[in-house]
Amino acid sequence: MNKEIIETKRLRLRRWQKGDLIYLVPLLTDVDVMKFSAHGPLRPTELETWLQNTIAQTSAKTSLGMRAIERKSDNIVIGYVNISKDLDRIEPGDVELGLRLAKEYWQRGHAYEAATAMINLAFEDKTISRVVGIVDPSNVTSINWLKKLGMTFERDIEFEGYDHPDHLYTMSAIAPSLPTS
């Protein structure tokens, strides 16, 4: 299951590299892109640390983890997709899907394309029973995106330090594979 690069019709999902720092400004410092992030937009001085930490945390031993979303047409990184197993947030057997795109690439189908490739990859691992999405109930765009992916609302979920519950959306491994384009 160890796939270094995952390709879809228009995208390449790959590990982050040191040279990707230039792509982080429109992605992680934009107020709209980071609106529902727990920490909000990053300061430009924090981007190099974010990238170094992301590279260090992404193990080459697994296909899962955070991947840069790169357009094949011009090799521009437009965002990231992440499949994680943080047991402080999810149940054993589950993985959590996360995705963020630079604003200029919203509403073009890139998020769906990248997410479906990662979901299909996740379900190749027979130890994974569900892919989940955790979303702020005010984030209607992400809720609609999770529904388009085939996830259904399961319940409210509360995390320490939050002043309101998030929504938990789920997709079972017995669901059919999603098309990648």
CATH code, 33: 3.40.630.30
Nearest C-alpha neighbor of 79 from the set 102, 60, 98, 56: 102
Average pLDDT of the segment spanning 55-84 = 86
Distance, CA of 111 to CA of 105 (rounded, Å): 9
Angle, vertex CA 27, rays to CA 14 and CA 162, nearest 5: 105
Distance, CA of 127 to CA of 130 (rounded, Å): 9
Nearest C-alpha neighbor of 139 from the set 131, 147, 130: 147
Cβ atoms within 10 Å of 115's Cβ, excluding its own: 26
Average pLDDT of the segment spanning 138-153 = 95
In a domain, 180, yes or no: no
In a domain, 168, yes or no: yes
In a domain, 103, yes or no: yes
Percent of the chain with pLDDT strictly greater than 70 = 92
Number of separate domains in the chain? 1
pTM of the model: 0.89
In a domain, 29, yes or no: yes
Question: What range defines the domain where residue 162 resides?
Answer: 6-172
Average pLDDT of the segment spanning 9-35 = 93
In a domain, 1, yes or no: no
- List pLDDT tens digits, range 43-58: 999 999 999 988 888 7
In a domain, 115, yes or no: yes
Distance, CA of 90 to CA of 53 (rounded, Å): 22
**Please, what's the b/e burial string for 147-178 (b: 16 or more CB within 10 A of its CB; e: otherwise)?**
eebbbeeeeeeeeeeeeeebbbbbbebebeeb
In a domain, 162, yes or no: yes
